[in-house]
Amino acid sequence: MSEAEQAPASAPEAAAAAVLEALNATDSNGTEALNATAKFVATPEGTALAYGSLVFMALLPIFFGALRSVTCSKSKNAADMPETITSRDAARFPIIASCTLFGLYLFFKVFSQEYINLLLSVYFFALGVLALSHTMSPLMTKVFPASFPNKQYQLLFTQGTGESKEEIVNYEFDTKNLVCLLISSVVGVWYLLKKHWIANNLFGLAFALNGVELLHLNNVSTGCILLGGLFVYDVFWVFGTNVMVTVAKSFEAPIKLVFPQDLLEKGLEASNFAMLGLGDIVIPGIFIALLLRFDVSLKKNSRTYFYSSFLAYIFGLGLTIFVMHTFKHAQPALLYLVPACVGFPVIVALFKGELTEMFRYEESSPVEAGAKEDSSESEKKDQ
């Protein structure tokens, strides 16, 4: 879910925006449709299991994605470089997201839903396979024995010759990566053929974890701008119009986590789902990951801000579910998550006297960091 660029909106940014609209919508409106149906009444046990499972699944990519974002920020591998979101990107993203959401709404109104979802399925199949493969790679490194014949490969595309030669693609991978890609492809085919909720969740978790790991806010102020803008965006499109409802009901892609409320009755073939959009995981998640990197920068061997924001996320998500279940009405999760995830760490910083230090913390983009590193190396050589 990459939503950051410094130039005018590009195709990846627009695509990420499209994901965000649908995923935020799916959470609220998918659940609303579920609660409104008269064919199935969830048991208290089934409801508790479904919501508890959604909360647990939401926490996994935030926790592990944040931990991996610390390593990612120090990586020199081009394939693992994070995308840095600036204040400019954050300010314009809700506008781009709104335009993309309305565009999807018009598409579903004008064109056949079947063909649009077919194209989306193929698109998200490719993205899902890559995301799941990237997610599995560190795990596979530990699983494979040391005697495993792991060969190195490089995919290199260049343009031009001589001094004008320019790299277009330069990707390094090994045999373990190929095994991960094969396993991910099997899951992808399973999703394409069956649209099974477990396959959907595997892709959804991979998307969320990659988003939290690879999308980096450059400072806390940028995070506040992004979360504040999407707070307004989420509330407006859920409560103000039926656009998000229409897109959510029409959009078929693994951009949500689902869990059946009738699992206890029907097992793995259950079909009445509670849903949570990935936007309600990734957007707060990248802010929580930023606070973890701030904790690391303090070099105090404590994770105060990370844990406070993580607990705030649990509180906000729990409050969302409580209000939705109590009033039987769709709720924009960011309405509760944003104040909690921003407010709790700020209060902690006020008590610790580190508020100024928190807002002064700045992360360089990978390009800037590389330039600074090259500059420092040159200075050392000159000396």
* 150 within domain boundaries: no
| Total residue length of the chain | 383
> Is the pLDDT reported for residue 108 higher than 60?
yes
For the ranges 16-20, 56-60, 276-280, the lowest mean pLDDT is seen at 16-20
For the ranges 59-68, 260-269, 300-309, the lowest mean pLDDT is seen at 260-269
Highest mean pLDDT among 76-90, 215-229, 239-253: 215-229
- Higher pLDDT pick, 9 / 139: 139
Q: What is the mean pLDDT of residues 287-297?
A: 94
* 160 within domain boundaries: no
| Phi, psi (degrees; rounded to nearest 5) at 3 | -130, 30
203: tokens are 């892709």
Tally of structural domains, the chain: 1
Q: Where are the beta strands (DSSP E) in the chain?
A: 83-85, 152-159, 166-174, 215-217, 256-260, 273-277
| Under 8 Å between Cβ of 52 and 322 | no
> Is the pLDDT reported for residue 344 higher than 60?
yes
* 307 within domain boundaries: yes
* 149 within domain boundaries: no
- Higher pLDDT pick, 89 / 72: 89
- Higher pLDDT pick, 19 / 43: 43
> Is the pLDDT reported for residue 44 higher than 90?
no
- What pLDDT is recorded for position 183? 92
Boundaries of domain holding 333: 11-142+178-382
Instruction: Please state, in angstroms and rounded to a whole number, the distance separating the CA atoms of residues 221 and 309.
Output: 15
Q: How confident is the model at residue 104 (pLDDT cuts 50, 70, 90)?
A: confident
Query: Based on the number of CB atoms within 10 Å of its own CB, is 264 exposed (0-12), middle (13-18) or buried (19 or more)?
Result: middle
| Under 8 Å between Cβ of 128 and 184 | yes
Q: Residues 209, 355, 234, 276: is their CA dihedral positive or negative?
A: positive
| Number of Cβ within a 10 Å radius of residue 236 | 15
Q: How confident is the model at residue 365 (pLDDT cuts 50, 70, 90)?
A: low
295 is catalytic: no
Catalytic option among 27, 89, 262, 280: 280
* 165 within domain boundaries: no
Task: Give residue-wise pLDDT tens across range 126-137.
Answer: 999 999 998 988
* 189 within domain boundaries: yes
* 24 within domain boundaries: yes
1: tokens are 């879910």
Please give the torsion angle defined by the CA atoms of residues 164, 165, 167 and 170, in that order, rounded to the nearest 10 degrees.
-160
89 is catalytic: no
> Is the pLDDT reported for residue 154 higher than 70?
yes
Instruction: Please state, in angstroms and rounded to a whole number, the distance separating the CA atoms of residues 266 and 261.
Output: 10
> Is the pLDDT reported for residue 170 higher than 60?
yes
Task: Give residue-wise pLDDT tens across range 136-149.
Answer: 888 887 787 777 78
Query: Based on the number of CB atoms within 10 Å of its own CB, is 92 exposed (0-12), middle (13-18) or buried (19 or more)?
Result: middle
Task: Give residue-wise pLDDT tens across range 212-240.
Answer: 999 999 999 999 999 999 999 988 988 88
| Phi, psi (degrees; rounded to nearest 5) at 103 | -60, -45
- What pLDDT is recorded for position 360? 92
Say which amino acid occupies 201: N
- What pLDDT is recorded for position 149? 80
* 340 within domain boundaries: yes
> Is the pLDDT reported for residue 18 higher than 50?
no
Say which amino acid occupies 249: K
Q: What's the chain's average pLDDT? A: 81
Q: What is the mean pLDDT of residues 53-73?
A: 92
Say which amino acid occupies 227: L
> Is the pLDDT reported for residue 308 higher than 90?
yes
Highest mean pLDDT among 5-19, 32-46, 48-62, 229-243: 48-62
Instruction: Please state, in angstroms and rounded to a whole number, the distance separating the CA atoms of residues 338 and 332.
Output: 11
Catalytic option among 27, 89, 234, 295: 234
Query: Based on the number of CB atoms within 10 Å of its own CB, is 121 exposed (0-12), middle (13-18) or buried (19 or more)?
Result: middle
| Number of Cβ within a 10 Å radius of residue 267 | 9
Task: Give residue-wise pLDDT tens across range 176-210.
Answer: 888 899 999 999 999 999 889 999 999 999 999 99
166 beta partners: 159
Q: How far is CA 106 from the centre of its chain?
A: 25
